[in-house]
A = this chain, B = another copy of it.
Amino acid sequence: MVKNKYDSIYQDIAGQIETGKLKKHTKLPSENELAESYGTSRETIRKALNLLSQNGYIQKIKAKGSVVLDIGRFDFPVSGLTSFKEVAEKVGKPFTTTVHELYVMKPDDCLQTELKIPAKEDVWKIARTREKEGERIILDKSFFVKKLVPGLTKEICEDSIYEYLEKELGLNISFARKEITVEECTDEDRKYLDLKGYDHIVVVRNNVYLDNASVIEYTESRHRLDKFRFVDFARRSR
């Protein structure tokens, strides 16, 4: 789904890097050459290259050129900004999702804060486990603002809520705040997960914002220690 000119150039070059048509450690054509060959202005090329750089595909080196990087780019599926389904597919591992709870509730104080809603606003609670190779290793406890997501079903929760939000409801996810900590296991963890004796668990807390600045979702993603992996890029003084 291409939105505009610089995005389509970004997709094009990213694709060439992923398929190996553009080789690691080689230089891209210069911005002027790219502008010429894509028939666009240099500023538009620069937007595409900045996207590539922000997503870890290339590094721009002043006065020299842009180099294709050789960095693995995919997280372990951490529920949140990119949908679980999306990341799981890229990582290429078969996950099974099971929905254990799906009902409407009133938010407690904590949820009111996390979702920025008043006490009377209805909230979906969803509890799901993710299973890989016969082991239930992730427990996702999600809370969605009902007003924004009226018709959730078990089928949608088993597939991809994000696809539903974006394709069916036309909502636009803007950004998420993630917080990662390690905590002691709860009885709920022990009930829903195959913990193999671990007494701690990695907790990823997630607040997801729409493009109109409202919070749509708060999720606690609870990962078994030994199966957790998170990868991140950070740029200096972006």
A173 at the interface (CB under 8 A from B): yes
A99 at the interface (CB under 8 A from B): no
Chain A, residues 181-223, CB within 8 Å of chain B (1/0): the string is 1100000000000000010101000000101110000000000
Report which residue of A82, A172, A177, A178 has the largest number of chain B beta carbons within 10 angstroms of its beta carbon: A177
A16-55 residues with Cβ-Cβ distance < 8 A to B are 51, 54-55
| Residues of chain B within 8 A of A69, CB atoms compared | 213
Contact A180 B180 (CB under 8 A): yes
Chain A residues within 8 Å of chain B by Cβ, number: 46
Contact A71 B231 (CB under 8 A): no
| Residues of chain B within 8 A of A179, CB atoms compared | 229-232
A13 at the interface (CB under 8 A from B): no
Q: Ordered nearest first, which 6 A-B pairs have the shortest CB separation?
A: A180-B230, A182-B225, A175-B235, A81-B234, A178-B232, A173-B236
